[in-house]
Amino acid sequence: MSTGYLSIIFHAHLPFVRHPEHQDSLEENWLHEALTEVYLPLLSVLEGLVEDGVDFRLTFSFTPTLLSMLLDPFLQSRYLQRTERLIALAEKETERTAQQPEFHRLAQLYHQRFLNLRDAFANRYGRNLVEAFRKFQELGKIEILGSAATHAYLPLLSLNPSAVRAQIQTGIAYGEQVFGRRPEGFWLPECGYCPEVGRMLSEEGIRFTILETHGVTRAEPRPKQGVYAPIYSPSGLAAFGRDPESSRQVWSSVEGYPGDYDYRDFYRDIAYDLDLDYLRPYIHRDGIRLDTGIKYYRVTGKTNHKEPYVPERAESKAEIHAGNFILNRQRQVEYLASVMDRKPLIVAPYDAELFGHWWYEGPAWVNHLVRKIASGEGSLRLITLSEYLEEYPINQVAAPAISSWGYEGFNDVWLNGSNDWIYPHLHRAARLMEKLSDGQCRPGPLAERALAQARRELFLAQASDWAFMINSGAMTEYATRRTKRHLSRFFRLGEQIQNNAIDESLLQGWEVQDNIFSSLL
Amino acid sequence: MDKSQEESKLLPRDSASPDVIPDEAESGEELDAEELYARAQLEDDEIPGGDEETKVVLLPVNPHLLYVYWEFSARDLEEMSRVFSRLGPRARPVLRFYETQTNPDSLNSASCLEVAIALSAGKWYVRLEHPADSYCLDLGIYLGQGSFRLLARSNVAEIPKVCPSDKREERYFRVEGNQSPAEVVAAPAQGSSASRSAPSEDKTQAPPGRLLRSGEASRSAQAWVEPPGREVNGPEHRGAWGSFIASAGHPGEEAELAVQPSASYSRPLYDGSEDDGAIDRELERTRLSRGAPEEETQRQLAEFSRQRSWDRAWWSPGVKDREESQAAAELRTDLTDLSERSFRAGLSSGQKSS
């Protein structure tokens, strides 16, 4: 008999970074790293759990931009090429480190790991990781949430309801198309919530969403159960609040598990330690040192001195940390159950990229966590959010508060002096899109194509990632270029459609480059 | 996999998206692809301008900061030019803010505040010490002798809340499957401990550390426009924000709430060892430590390492085996307060900033 529930949510997202126009793309490497370090290892964990008959429930949200890239044959092909290069590099490393036992063993492990990943990607999954995750959905082990089409930060688009509705509708439709099931829950990009967004989710038949803690605690009227039970918005949308304790314990850069001294150091990659000539065939064509994923050191301490990584110690620590997490959640639900009229629910959403990319041992931690809970350690039970609503369909009515999980909890990250120039353009583009869609333009196959491409370009311009990158100061030039590129293409297409003067060869070029949702639009 | 299968994998599955793959293409096709991409990227840096109606838009950045931008139609732009050449400095452009709960047609002009702006800036940031629930604004120009020329009225923007509500009304919905929400008459009688230690419903006294609510202090606003290249969320902005908060009565940021160096960073919330005021201080000290100097960070890290013995639970509400005041017990059962305080203590620790 459980005393409470734990719902772990992995939010998997990458912006649409597909660059056939370049022989080698720095940004596509984000996808390659995530495949190698996050999605394939997490799939491996899920496979192992099912093979061993472990019962579990986990939740995933895959943004449509990520899904679109995972299904893209061109990007799949490039990932295989990249993996082949990694295998060759790891093999070369086994030779280079032959006289250094502590590194030689690691090089061999990396070599075998990359071979296994290639085999899984190319053969076991036939390059299609979406189908691989779908299998676990069919087994009832994972619940998959929908999300906005291109990870738009919806509160700042809500001036134009049509723009928000298009993001929601297209995101849901694409998720349904690739996973074969309409989602009951919806992951709001950056947990960005405002009342208009909530109403629209209800109109689209969405049952629930997840908010940052204060989206629930500052609801009106005051929720009785804090974030340990959902509230219903006036339109009937269930809003689950993020539990700050379990978030901080895993995610915090200061006190979170990933900073443990036995875990692999994220920054110390051979790409920065070895001669450029040695590395040249395996990094960017222009000689830019890119992380290879081959890292030989553990965190060790707070100084630059690093000791060699010992996988067994790291694995053992992941198990200890999984036990510690359960112990803390156990204490938490015991207390909460003593003051609540129901079994409390701990909602713990994380960026999927934390597990394996930033925190190399993250997938191992998930593995131990799920197995320990399934074996009865503590009296917690894993649950999906829709299962919780099935068990507790009656919840307090309270209007969720405007909120996000960005720094300071509101819009500051996506709206400040560095990136505010984007919004007048996005709002004007949304108004133009409304005009283009009102059926007044001359119909015809070419106009239809142009209109579909205009939608793609607007969706891509609306991605919150660009404002986020501009704010952070990392990849500012790229993010600015992408924003301008999609806005420019959108407005030019709009003008061509309105003037019935579509440049077909230009349109073709844009269709090839920015081909997101080509099966839908 | 034979070669034909391999190639077919490289082709797009959707005929609506003809793809060209430079790495894989024949030499002739590669040239076509390069041309295609080169042409596609022409003029990508130029965003065509619009010539729409005059607009002003209001977006909240956070509970205390509003962003406003405006655009002029070509006709209004010409007219403005004529006005300024005729009146010179007597023409004073302003943003006139209204508190509004409903629609902008029923504005209470008595509650408006005005911010002088430079029209050519195109945008303005306005800081509010004690924000109302929602605002809209007029963009206009004083033409001298009390005459006001309205240029545009903004959307209504709801302002985010800074603390939990004091309203403790309980209504319940039942929502099942695809059915519409149905209101149920009473709270669900679920579980065995329904009313064991539930908080009093008639809780008129605000919890400790309650923030000033809208209307409890006189309204005031500060505004600035960002010079080109200056970031809004830089240190200067942060400093201004901090000093303002101190004057608004937020708990923990007042000068008398001194940092307690001996307190542990990761001490469990509500461990019952301190009075309520101390809990506030601890939370706020933690929050303040986000901007702590290096030695403070090091101290926190050392403290954290010391605490990190794995048989110890971080989360320990401490309601067992301890005599408590009734007020403290009530506070512990206010789960929204518990959640909110825990959130504030960890604010930014699990959030995205870069």
DSSP string covering B50-108: -----EEEEEEEETTEEEEEEE--HHHHHHHHHHHHHHGGG-EEEEEEEE-SS-GGG--
A304-318, B36-50, B137-151: least confident range: B36-50
Residues A369 and A426 both lie in one domain: no
Q: Closest Cα partner for B352 from A10, A472, A210, A479?
A: A472
In a domain, A89, yes or no: no
State pLDDT tens for residues A108-131: 999 999 999 999 999 999 999 999
Looking at residue B106, its pLDDT comes to 57
Cross-chain residue pair B61–A328, CB shorter than 8 Å = no
Same domain for A230 and A155, yes or no, is: yes
| Type of residue at B35 | E
B window 127-156, beta carbon within 8 A of A: 155
- Chain A residues in contact with B337 by the CB 8 A cut-off are 226
Q: Where are the alpha helices (DSSP H) in A15-160?
A: 28-34, 40-51, 64-70, 73-96, 101-119, 129-138
Pick from B158, B338, B352: which is nearest to A194 by CB?
B158
Are A398 and A442 in the same domain? Answer: no
For residue B205, is pLDDT > 80? no
The pLDDT assigned to A143 comes to 98
What's the length of chain A? 521
Residue A119 resides in a domain: no
pLDDT beneath 50: ranges in chain A: none
Q: Which of A358, A388, A407 is the last residue of a domain?
A: A407
Q: How many structural domains are present in chain A?
A: 2
CB A65 within 8 A of CB A18: no
Taking CA–CA distances from B306, the nearest residue in chain A reads A255
What is the spatial distance between Cα A98 and Cα B216, in angstroms, rounded to a whole number?
73
Amino acid B146 reads G
List phi, psi (to 5°) of B99: -75, 140
pLDDT at residue number A378 = 73
B187 band by pLDDT with thresholds 50, 70 and 90: low
More confident residue, A508 or B22: A508
pLDDT of residue A48: 98
- Chain A residue with minimum CA distance to B304: A255
Query: What pLDDT is attached to residue A267?
Result: 93
pLDDT at B129: 87
Cβ contact, residue pair A481, B21, below 8 Å: no
Residue A57: inside a domain: yes
Cα torsion through A135, A139, A141, A143, rounded to 10: 70
Query: How does residue B27 score in pLDDT terms, banded at 50, 70 and 90?
Result: very low
**CATH code for the domain of A496:** 1.20.1430.10
Residues A433 and A465 in one domain: yes
Residues A30 and A146 in one domain: yes
How many CB atoms neighbour CB A419 within 10 A?
Answer: 24
Q: Given this model, what pLDDT does residue B332 score?
A: 54
pLDDT averaged over every residue in chain B: 61
Q: Is A41 on the interface with B (CB under 8 A)?
A: no
Q: Is residue A242 part of a domain?
A: yes
Own/partner pairs, B53-56, CB within 8 angstroms, 24+ separation: B53/B152, B54/B139, B54/B151, B54/B152, B55/B152, B56/B95, B56/B137, B56/B138, B56/B139, B56/B151, B56/B152, B56/B153, B56/B154
The answer to whether A391 and A72 are in contact (CB under 8 A) is no
B155 — phi, psi (to 5°)?
-70, 165
CATH of domain B55-158: 2.60.40.10
Residue A320, in any domain of the structure: yes
Work out the number of other CB atoms within 10 angstroms of the CB of residue B199: 18
Chain A residues within 8 A of B174 when measuring between CB atoms? 393-394
Q: What is the CATH classification number for the domain harbouring A198?
A: 3.20.110.10
Same-domain check for residues A365 and A422: no
Q: Is A58 found in the same domain as A179?
A: yes
User: Three-class SS of residue A406?
Assistant: strand
The answer as to whether A78 is a domain residue is no
Higher pLDDT, A34 or B230: A34
Partners of residue B57 in chain A, C-beta under 8 Å: 159, 423-424, 427
Tell if the CB–CB gap between A401 and B160 is shorter than 8 Å.
Answer: yes
Contact indicator for A149, A171 with CB cutoff of 8 Å: yes
Interface test with B, best of A69, A218, A380 (most B CBs within 10 A): A218
Q: What is the pLDDT of residue A206?
A: 98
ipTM, two decimals, is 0.95
Inter-residue contact A105 to A309 (CB < 8 Å): no
pLDDT at B288 over 70: no
Instruction: Identify the pLDDT of residue B347.
Output: 57
A346 lies in some domain:
yes
pLDDT of B326: 53
CB contact under 8 A, B353 and A395: no
The partner residue sitting opposite B46, judged by closest CB among A332, A473, A488, is: A488
pLDDT at B214: 29
Rounded distance between C-alpha atoms, residue A501 and residue B155, angstroms: 35
Q: Which of A407, A428, A456 is the last residue of a domain?
A: A407
Residue of A nearest to B339 (CA): A226
Which of A407, A439, A464 is the C-terminal boundary of a domain?
Answer: A407
Give the length of chain B: 354
pTM value is 0.83
Contacts of B235 (CB under 8 A, 6+ apart): none
Range of the domain at A224: 4-71+128-264+309-407
pLDDT confidence tier of residue B103, bands split at 50, 70 and 90: low
Q: Residue A400 carries which DSSP code?
A: P
- At A75, phi and psi to the nearest 5? -70, -35
CATH 2.60.40.10 domain extents, chain B: 55-158
Q: Note the pLDDT of residue B301.
A: 43
A177 and A226 fall within a common domain: yes
